[in-house]
Structure 1
Amino acid sequence: MSGNTWTAPTATGPLDAEVRVPGSKSITNRAFVLAALSTGPTLVRRPLDSRDARLMQGALAALGGRVEPQGDDVLVSPLAPEGTEPASVVLGNAGTVARFTPALAGLGSRPVLFDGDEAIRRRPIAPLLRALSELGVDIDDDGRGAPPFTVRGRGGIAGGKVELDSSASSQFLSALLLAGPSFESGVTVRLVGDAPPSEPHIAMTLDLLRRFGAAPERSGVEFHVPPAELNCPEYAVEPDLSTAAPFVAAAALAGGTVRIEGWPERTTQPGDWLRSLVVELGQRADLDANGLTVTGTGEIRGARLDLHEVGELTPVVAALLCFADGPSVISGVAHLRGHETDRLAALATELSALGAGVTETDDGLVITPAPMHGGVFRTYEDHRLVMAAAVLGLRVPGVEVENPATVGKTFPGFTAAWQEMLS
Structure 2
Amino acid sequence: MPTPARPVDATVRVPGSKSITNRAYVLAALASTATLVRHPLDSRDARLMIDALGVLGARSEHTDTAVRIHPLESRRCPDPAEIALGNSGTVARFTPPLAALGPATVRFDGDPALRRRPMAGVLRALRDLGVDIDDGGDPAPPFTVRGTGGVRGGVVDVDASASSQFLSALLLAGPAFREGITARLVGSAPPSGPHIAMTLDLLRTFGAAPLRDGTEFHVPPATLGCPDYTVEPDLSSAAPFLMAAALTGGSVRVLDWPASTTQPGDWVRSLLTELGVSVTTDERGVTATGSGVLPGAELDLHDVSELTPVVAAMLCFATEPSTIRGVAHLRGHETDRLAALATELSRLGGRVTETGDGLRIVPSPMRSGTFHTYDDHRLVMAAALIGLRVPGVAVENPATVGKTFPGFVEAWSGMLGA
TM-score by length of 1: 0.98
Per-residue deviation, residues 289-344 of structure 1 (Å, max 9, x unmatched): 21101111111110000000000000000000000001000000001000000000
Cα distance change, pair 40–356 in 1 and its aligned pair in 2 (3 A): same
- CA shift at 1:84, angstroms? 5.8
1:27 to 20, 26, 39: 20
Indicate the residue corresponding to 2:384 in structure 1.
Answer: 390
1:46 matches 2:49: no
- The answer as to 2:342 corresponding to 1:345 is no
1:122 corresponding residue in structure 2: 116
Q: Is 2:55–2:78's contact at 8 Å kept on the other side of the alignment? A: no
Kindly indicate whether the alpha-carbon contact (under 8 Å) linking 2:168 and 2:199 is maintained by their aligned counterparts in 1: yes
> Unaligned stretches of 5+ in structure 2?
none
Q: What corresponds to 1:235 in structure 2?
A: 229
Residue 109 (structure 1) aligns with: 103
Matched residue type, 1:12 = A
| Structure 2 counterpart of 1:191, from 163, 185, 207 | 185
Counterpart selection for 2:146 from 133, 136, 152? 152
Q: How many Å separate the matches in 2 of 1:266 and 1:288?
A: 13
Letter of the 1:33 counterpart: V
Deviation digits for residues 237-257 of structure 1, max 9, x if unmatched? 000000011101100001111
State the secondary structure of the residue aligned to 2:415: helix
Alignment of 1:176-187 (within 5 A): 176-187=170-181
Amino acid at match of 2:298: R
Instruction: Report the alpha carbon displacement of residue 136 of structure 1 after superposing the two structures with TM.
Output: 2.0
Q: Distance in 1 between matches of 2:405 and 2:136?
A: 35
Identical amino acids, percent of aligned pairs: 69
Q: 1:90 aligned to 2:84?
A: yes
Runs of 4+ in 1 over 6 A off after TM superposition: none
1:420 corresponds in structure 2 to 414
Judge conservation of contact 2:200–2:210 (CA < 8 Å) in 1: yes
RMSD: 0.7
2: distance between equivalents of 1:136 and 1:289? Answer: 49
TM-score (norm 2): 0.99
Which whole-Å CA distance do the structure 2 matches of 1:157 and 1:295 have between them?
Answer: 52
Aligned equivalent of 1:409, options 386, 389, 403: 403
Corresponding residue for residue 56 of structure 2: 63
Is the contact between residue 12 and residue 411 of structure 2 (CA under 8 Å) also seen in structure 1? Answer: yes
Other-structure match for 1:14:
7
Equivalents in 2 of 1:404, 1:136: separation in Å? Answer: 43
Letter in 1 for 2:94: F
> In structure 1, the residue corresponding to 2:87 is in which secondary structure?
coil
Contact 1:84 1:109 survives alignment (8 Å): no
Aligned to 2:374: 380
Q: Offset of 1:158 from its aligned partner?
A: 0.6
* Ranges in structure 1 where 5+ consecutive residues have no aligned partner: 1-7
Find the aligned partners of 1:151 and 1:376 in 2 and give their Cα distance: 42
Distance 2:402 2:412 in 1: 14
**Is 1:36 the equivalent of 2:13?**
no
Is the contact between residue 123 and residue 338 of structure 1 (CA under 8 Å) also seen in structure 2? yes
Give the paired residue count: 416
